[in-house]
Amino acid sequence: MNLDFTEEQVMLRDSLRSICEAESDSKAVRQAERDPASAMAGVWRSLADAGFLGLGIAEAYGGSALGMIETAVAAHEFGRFLVPVPHFESAFCAARLIAAAGNDEQRARWLPGIADGSLVVVPASYEAGGGDDLASVKLALAPKDDGFSLTGQKLFVAYAAAADCLLVLVRGAGRTGEHGLACIDRRAPGVRVTAEPNLASASLCTVDFDDVKIARGDLLGDGGAVADAWNAVFMEGLIPLAAQAVGGAERVLEMSIAYAKEREQFDRPIGSFQSIAHYLADAATELEAARVLTWQAAWAHAEGLPFDRLAITAKLFACRAFRRISALAIQIHGGLGFTSEADPQLYFRRAKHQQLLHGESGWLEKQLARRVIDGDIPVLN
């Protein structure tokens, strides 16, 4: 296993970092909390022009057909700068779901727009009382005329207000009770999007559907194909989310180290005191462990090796590390750290947000525990 970046991967990272530094500083992040749609417009266009929205999309549809390592490299930079764009939702999740579950006509209709940034498609899966498992999906299609009708609600839909289309996970397509994916225009009659207050002040919405008409051509795959695609993409998605957490933890730890060097008490930098220095050492150790787990998972996926266990472990550990390291940053910054004017709180709030969605910590622990009990993880060798 070689976790060193290639020259091309380093160039990709440096190119993306220059865009993020220029267009997603802390001022832009705060602006996105007030007005997500307008704040993302400039950086989204820059990412599209540089080809970063088509990293994992096939070349036939305008993408670069790059692998998981390159995707994780990009996610790491998005995490470092808290870039307020739906790259994970649209360019990763939706694109992979369409590629896996859609037919040739659907791929040709939607993937080029996702790759060039002209089309934003976001998944909508969570429901009241549900979780990350497919079994929790209850919203069902009803036959109507020569297509279908949808009435119900989806929760915690990221960037729904800025999306062009919603990729809605439903039941009732194909054989009775099986899963389907309906691609629905956000502006279609009967669709209502409501912003949800949340800890990270992220673009998170409730979407209500009231007798929304769905043409057969807007329904992806049959039940079996959709379930397999959803499970595969969900598991793959844990890797870039872990990389985002590593990037965020890395940046907020850098802030803590810099502040510990410049802030003085008793005529000494506070970083010279054991109580601060040891906390920073522990944080650096935890960050390095999260980094290794994440890149190992990305490497395994890129090599075509089993990666589920690594992806689960990486997301669980990296998000936990991000939350702890960002909480430490607030404490090291003292009274300043608790104010909204300081940057550490931007990272702390997003760290908790990342723990809760797309692989909530309790769900990940359950998946990992099952593998330990079943003997998939050799605990004692």
Q: d(Cα 144, Cα 362) in Å, to the nearest integer?
A: 39
CATH 1.20.140.10 fits 226-373, yes or no: yes
- Spell out the SS3 assignment of 267-319: CEEHHHCHHHHHHHHHHHHHHHHHHHHHHHHHHHHHCCCCCHHHHHHHHHHHH
**At residue 378, does pLDDT exceed 70?**
no
- Give one word for 162, left, alpha or beta, with left for phi > 0 and alpha for psi -120 to 50: alpha
The pLDDT of residue 176 is 58
Q: Is the pLDDT of residue 380 over 80?
A: no
pLDDT tens by residue, 182-217: 999 999 999 999 999 988 888 899 999 999 999 999
* pTM (2 d.p.): 0.94
How many residues does the structure list for the chain?
381
Amino acid identity at 47? L
- Whole-number mean pLDDT of the chain? 92
Comma-separated ranges of CATH 1.10.540.10 domains in the chain = 7-119
The CATH 2.40.110.10 portion of the chain extends over 122-221
Pairing of strands 165-171, 179-185: antiparallel
3-state secondary structure at position 208: strand
Strands (E), 189-289: 191-195, 204-214, 219-220, 264-265, 268-269
Q: Identify the CATH class of 122-221.
A: mainly beta
Mean per-residue pLDDT, 215-224: 84
- Which CA distances in Å does 313 have to 283, 361, 364, 370, 377? 18, 10, 8, 13, 11
Sheet holding 121-124, edge to edge: 121-124, 165-171, 179-185, 219-220
171 or 265, greater pLDDT: 171
* Residue ranges, CATH 1.20.140.10, the chain: 226-373
Rounded to 5 degrees, what are φ and ψ at 167?
-100, 95
The answer as to CATH 3.40.640.10 being correct for domain 7-119 is: no
Among 246-250, 335-339, 372-376, the range scoring the smallest mean pLDDT is 372-376
Q: What is the mean pLDDT of residues 19-48?
A: 87
